[in-house]
Structure 1
């Protein structure tokens, strides 16, 4: 009996997932933020990626929302799938307890990939859905937390002036970005692995506010970019939200 012919499948994509947010790095000194660099997991449609109406940034201060943190321009980099959102004036993180970024992804004209799939804001595996994520702002002389897989992490800074405060942005308790202020200070850290953790910690960016400061984190800390002035390009995929 001859084999039954099989008709080719129709060329279409079922449950096409939209672009996913992979990172959000704040550029500048914690006291003078100039831009936010947002990373995605794939190529975007340049027109929607550079439409300012698709992005919002606000902070909370004493549980009150502040809505005046507007962007002046959006620039898409097709090489690393990042969008740099710049401002005409500076703002300081120290006035806020939380920073929140929203990206539109529900209708035509919102952020989409080159095939027209809207950003997958709720990460349900299908395109469409606004992105909303919040970073906590901290100021501590020492930072201690558990990372995503359970590593116990401690960070501190020491120098001629004693134990210096660290400024940080954290996501779900894990440090995402870190600033070391003052002069002639050294950033130190330790990791205590558990049976379920890998003994490796990712920090999206360490900013040494003054050139005299030193990053002495061991190799177990994987840092996306260590800079002295906060203005260098960043690795957009070092941390995934």
Structure 2
């Protein structure tokens, strides 16, 4: 299954009020591994950017001067997404903006264009009810390094979300990769995303003794070897 980790930055919160996309980013994943294929675009919105939105993503109209408008890149975005399953944090927000932009061009909506949408925010709320489930909070929960993320840039957020998604679905693949990124106010350059190796903590002797004592108590309660003993025996025999 071809999947696209997707994020956008916008001029405001509601496309129905005329707000538009100013940055689009998508990373391709196949077989739970990033392929290195990505699409990253800055887009002139042909309108002002709300100050609150600019404080979040740091993208100004001055930076966007000379960048393409959406009608010049909309077909490229649609072609990149076609047939893929999208992975988005707070999917209704990004899908709503994409659908609004596609509609202006007479293009298909996301529901017809793509194989489906996974909303990692909704899934995180199901997994961790009552807890904070922003992308930052999930990165902290899964100990994902986000030191490269000083602003909410779409491409950096996609890279972080790819790791969050794999953790949420019990994946542990390494996603370290190099991507050329054009940053606001910068001529661009190579940003290297690096992740620390997974820590494996072995049980101490005291913890192992406590575990054995607990199993002894279970054996006594069920008047015979508990289920865990039967699971341990094949592993011990193999060793």
Name the TM-score class by shorter chain: under 0.3
Counting strand residues as a fraction of each chain, which structure ranks higher? Answer: 1
Counting helix residues as a fraction of each chain, which structure ranks higher? Answer: 2
TM-score (norm 1): 0.28
